[in-house]
Structure 1
Amino acid sequence: MLRTIRAKFLGVAAFFVVWLVVATGFSVIQSLGINGDLEAVSRYVTPVKDSLSDVRARQLEQISLIDRYMRVVESDGPQTSLLNGIEIEIEAKQTQIEQAFRKSFTFAALGRAQASGHFDEGVLFDLDVRMREFADVSAQFSLGVERLLDQVRAGNLADARSQENTVRGLHRIIVLNLRNEIRLLEDYAAQTVENVSKREDFLIQAEFIMMLAAVIIGISLAYYMAHAVVVAVRKTTSALNSIQSGKLDTKLEFSSKGDFGRLADAFNRMTRELRVRFRMRERFGKYVDPKVINNLINQETALENSEKRVMTVSVVNLTGFDWLAEHTPPEKLVDFLNDYLTAMTEPIANQSGIIDNFVGDRVIGFWGPPFCGEGSHAKHACQAALEQVARFNALKTKYAELIGDHGLEIRVGIATGEVVVGSIGTDKSRAYTVVGDCVNYANRLEKANRVYGTQILASHETASMASGEVEMRDLDHVVLLGTEKVVFLYEVLAQGGQLSEERREWRSKYETAMAHYRDGNFDAARPLYEEVIAFDDSDFAAQLMMNRMERLERREQDREWDGTWVVRDPYERRDVES
């Protein structure tokens, strides 16, 4: 049984080749038979008939000459000179008769030798034999004519008249036989032509029937095979659409065990693998950000390649967690930690960010192409940080009894810069992460919140990229601990356009005071800082600046003031507390 599509098509092609060979062979055989019949008639039967007709005509002419000869003998006597001329004509006719007989015999013999298949039946069966018999009778007639002429020359008129009667009898036999033979040959030729015409009609009808049968069979086979292919394609398309819509339990089944059966087996294996991969993806997505998984799936080279990109990194840390861990039952601590990590990670995911990793209560995320736009990753990071602060405030309300007055807060550091992003690690253990000075910078900014009493600090690059989208305060210019680079610190305050007029004025006074502070005009800066503190007495940054001005006036910085504070103490809390 043909199972493959190729075998089916080859089988159909082989069928039509065999059909064509059979039809062609049938036509050739019939055509050869028709041509053989026509050739036998035209090359042998007709020439024999024509020769016999010539014999008959010469025979009639010869008997007429004999009648004339005997009348001359009766009227003028056997010695008249006219008889010599008539005798010559009689002998010439006899020669013509013999030649015509030899011609008919020759054609009959050739027909028997070269076209024996057409001379095996009917009138042609013993044609050459009959021609020989005719020749024998004609020879007897010729001998009788010679005797007649000899008796006339000898003057035996009575014997001559008797011989004339014998000759006339032979003549009648010859003419009668010739007439019958010619009629038989004419009937045979006419019957052959009629048979040839019928066979030609039959051949035309047979060829038409074979052609019609080939068309019907071909259309039927083509419809059957096309229908089978169309049904298979429709089933496969429907199954693929179901898979695309998320129905991974879809199965493809065909009754045949050939190519379509193998297609169904391959499809069902694919769906089983997809179900396994989907379950693994769901489970793996709890450990690796789903956007990373999608990116790695869509970009095959992303697993092997790492590249440099400008991205934004965020570091979130929870202050006071060590105390909470020591004084909280494990089950309650786990509940709180799960809610806390959910509150910190969901804003990152909501803002098109990638959760890099967890280090205790520290959450690290990053933003950048291809997960978000080239110019929008700083904005997303700042908005995620604001949402994290809002969610943590709600979390403190939920766990107020557990936290008490131990002052748990979160600190967020946001930095924008060049990082190396990609699959990084050992041959056996790798992670999709970011590394670079920008990550360290974000860590330092997170720690710097402790100095300024802020919750969200961003770098100058972050502030520049998110300008207009997020409300910020130009907080300070410092050289952070462990670095020599001057960095500009910005406090993230609110979403763009969501800062009240009072807070805008408060920010403006602080930034004006900072300008005087950086110019070394401390007398002008001090009253502005006091106003800022009067508006918000928890603003540690303003208190820190006033402390620094006092220290600078006491020349506690061992260099000329240029508006940039060099952080030497890891926390600088004494600046606020003194």
Structure 2
Amino acid sequence: MLRTVRAKFLGVAAFFVVWLVVATGFSVIQSLGINGDLEAVSRYVTPVKDALSDVRSRQLEQISLIDRYMRVVENEGPDAPLLSGIEIEIDAKQTQIEQAFRKAFTSAALGRAQASGHFEQGVLLDLDVRMREFADIAAQFNLGVERLLSRVREGDLDDAQRQENLVRGIHRNIVLDLRSEILLLEKYSSETVENVSAREDFLIQAEFIMMLAAVVIGISFAYYLAQAVVKAVRDTTNALNSVQSGKLDTSLDFKGKGDFARLADAFNRMTRELRVRFRMRERFGKYIDPKIINNLLSQETALETSQKRVMTVSVVNLTNFDWMAEHIPPEKLVDFLNDYLTAMTEPIANHSGIIDNFVGDRVIGFWGPPFCGEKSHAGHACLAALEQVARFNALKTKYADLIGDHGLDIRIGIATGEVVVGSIGTDKSRAYTVVGDCVNYANRLEKANRIYGTQILASHETASMAAGEIEMRDLDHVVLLGTEHVVYLYEVLAQSGQLSDERRDWRKTYETAIAFYREGDFDKAQPLFEEVQEGIGSDFAAQLMLNRMERLQRREQDREWNGTWIVRDPYERRDVES
């Protein structure tokens, strides 16, 4: 009888294993097919479609500018002062069109390389070739535009009119071809999504049936196993109670009992892993900031509560990290990241700060009571930021061969304000952290560095609190994208007393110019900003102000000037590029 039961047990178990393998393999194959379809659409087809839509939009804007240009020529003649500004805008649109074409071609080429099964048939066949052809036609259009502008400058309006007709014909063909291509890609994406949806429905139904069959088999398996495991359950329960009481050296021994011997072996492996995990838990506890641990231990209520405090938050972001992740071998990337995170976190700890968390390559820290004084946390944050910049510059020298000339750098945003600080999280997982608008403000300041070409931007509250310790530049008054109130921006330059005389004169000239700029006296501000440009290198912020004044004189901001610029574009790069 025992041999029969054992045979039945083994037969049911073998069937169960085969069934699970088949079910898992089926699900994996179906999931891979679905994921492949979605990846081809989301990573390659959609970017191409979006880039082509952007090209079409820019083409329409460019032809509108040409219309405007020719109307000015007809009404005011080829020497009209407005023509140079319109020519600059036409060139800027052309640059944007070329960038969008490059993006479309890159996505199509990557699709052919990475998802060749999709890009070798149907509407995606030779998609990269078509993108290149579109770019060539656009180049002809650009050449025609250049000839049109050249004829206008030379005063040959008849030939300019002929060039305009030629340009319009090329533009009409480009727009129609782009529209047709976009419609094809949209249709392909829609059909792919519908196909994926149908396959997902089928997979859900199939998995339900397989799960039901697994349940039936599992119940049968339990029935056959029940009588044989009663004693094993009792012994195992006693052993588990011992482990629960803290006796992690408990073990089971079912020698000579076949499957139960394997059960004992699994239990013993579990207890060994528990002992390892217990030791790992003790070791990983050392990674928590000691200042936080001391604070929590000294304040019993701090383990469960949070409170509002005025603190300073710093956000550090590494630019062009995506390029590194794609082009640098993993082992070298890990070495660089370890050195980078060390260079970014040690200054925070050295200046009485707390490392909040890491979000990819972003490092977030905060300062404030009880870890440092109520009036000194802004100064500590700025000093830490200056040290981070210095350390990163040394890091760039160390990894010069690895980084090359790909513009790898850091941007830092520092904001001071009210936050909620304390132990925040779930019942099972908590963290000592800060939340609030001040954290979002610091993130916006970090991103605003891209607008001004700076590395460290601080809020007005930070600058006021750290005024005696840090040299800063009064950079700008703006309403940032996503906010409604005026923001006063300050660039952190150096520790107090460590700014050279040349840099002090440079800062004074800029702040004098910015004062005239805010008063609307652009005639006085312009030469001063130009002097800043010619002083210590090329100052991106000064060039930004020069371009803003030009736009304000063209009344591109539809309101009366009150000294505060409203940021509408996420990066405002066109202020300088135009």
Unaligned segments of structure 2, at least 5 residues: 1-276
State the SS of the aligned residue for 2:561.
coil
Q: Does 2:415 match 1:426? A: no
Q: The residue matched to 1:431 in structure 2 has which SS?
A: strand
Moved over 4 A (4+): 276-282
Displacement, 1:576? Answer: 1.5
- Quote the residue 1:535 is aligned against: 535
Answering whether residue 308 of structure 2 is matched by residue 295 of structure 1, we say no
- Name the amino acid aligned to 2:286: G
1:285 & 1:449 partners in 2: Cα distance? Answer: 35
The question of whether the paired residues in 2 share the 8 Å contact of 1:422 and 1:433 is answered with yes
**2:380 maps to amino acid:** H
Tell me the secondary structure at the aligned position of residue 285 of structure 1. Answer: helix
1:331 aligns with 2:331: yes
Listed as ranges, the matches of 1:326-475 within 5 Å are 326-475=326-475
Q: What are the residue-to-residue correspondences of 1:62-81 with 2, within 5 Å? A: none
Aligned to 1:285: 286
Shift of 1:451: 0.4
User: Alpha-carbon deviations, 1:308-332, whole Å to 9, x = none?
Assistant: 0000000000001000110000000
- Which letter maps to 2:319? T
Give a deviation string over 1:454-502, Cα, whole Å, max 9, x none: 0000000000000010000000000000100101000000001000000
Aligned to 2:481: 481
- The structural deviation recorded for 1:536 is 2.6
Shift of 1:282: 5.3
The code of the aligned residue for 2:381 comes to A
Distance 1:331 1:277, change over 3 A: closer
What pairs up with 1:176-325 in 2 under 5 angstroms?
Answer: 283-286=284-287, 288-325=288-325
**1:467, 1:342 → 2: CA distance?**
28
CA distance in 1, matches of 2:403, 2:419: 37
2-side partners of 1:474 and 1:505: how far apart? 14
Separation (CA, whole Å) in 2 of partners of 1:284 and 1:312: 26
Shift of residue 279 of structure 1?
8.6
Q: What is the SS of the residue equivalent to 2:366? A: strand
2:10 corresponds in structure 1 to none
Letter paired with 2:542:
A
Change (3 A) 1:465 1:281: farther
CA distance in 1, matches of 2:279, 2:498: 42
C-alpha separation between the residues in 2 aligned to 1:282 and 1:404? 38
Q: Deviation of residue 280 (structure 1)?
A: 5.5
Question: What RMSD in Å do the two structures reach over aligned CA positions?
Answer: 1.5
Distance in structure 2 (CA, Å) of the matches to 1:282 and 1:353? 23
Q: In 2 relative to 1, CA 542–298 (structure 1 residues): closer, same or farther, beyond 3 Å?
A: same
For residue 395 of structure 1, report the CA deviation from its aligned partner. Answer: 0.1
CA separation in 2, counterparts of 1:297 and 1:279? Answer: 21
Q: Is the 8 A contact 1:285 1:293 kept in 2?
A: no
C-alpha distance in 2 between matches for 1:434 and 1:285: 21
- The letter of the residue matching 2:464 is S
Distance in structure 2 (CA, Å) of the matches to 1:446 and 1:327: 25
Alignment partner, residue 227 of structure 2: none
CA-CA distance at 1:538 after TM superposition = 2.6
Contact 1:517 1:525 in 2 (8 A): yes
Amino acid corresponding to residue 502 of structure 2 in structure 1: E
Q: Which amino acid aligns with 1:300?
A: E
Map Cα deviations across residues 8-47 of structure 1 (whole Å, 9 max, x no partner).
xxxxxxxxxxxxxxxxxxxxxxxxxxxxxxxxxxxxxxxx
Residue 474 of structure 1 aligns with an amino acid whose one-letter code is D
Partner deviation per Cα, 1:241-296 (whole Å, 9 max, x = no partner) = xxxxxxxxxxxxxxxxxxxxxxxxxxxxxxxxxxx99995653232x322111211
**DSSP-derived class of the 2:568 partner:** coil
- Percent identity reads 82
TM-score by length of 2: 0.51
Contact 1:312–1:414 (CA under 8 A) maintained in structure 2: yes
Change (3 A) 1:435 1:551: same
Residues 509 and 323 (structure 1), Cα distance of their counterparts in 2 relative to 1, 3 Å cut: same
- Going from structure 1 to structure 2, the CA distance change for 1:561 and 1:283 (only over 3 Å counts) comes to same
Aligned to 1:522: 522
Q: Could you say if the C-alpha distance between residues 347 and 526 of structure 1 is closer, same or farther in structure 2, counting changes exceeding 3 Å?
A: same
Alignment partner, residue 544 of structure 2: 544
DSSP 3-state at the match of 2:492: strand
Q: Structure 1 residues 294, 277: CA separation in 2 closer, same or farther (over 3 Å shift)?
A: farther
2: CA distance between counterparts of 1:282 and 1:532?
54
Which 5+ residue runs of structure 1 have no aligned equivalent? 1-275
Question: 1:66 aligns to what?
Answer: none
User: CA separation of 1:549/1:334 partners in 2, compared to 1, >3 Å: closer, same or farther?
Assistant: same
Max Rg structure: 1
Give the SS at the match of 2:451: helix
Give distance in 2, aligned partners of 1:282 and 1:499.
44
Residues 393-416 of structure 1: CA deviation (Å, up to 9, x unaligned): 000000000000001000000000
Q: How many angstroms apart in 1 are the aligned matches of 2:536 and 2:454?
A: 13
Q: Which residue of 1 aligns with 2:219?
A: none
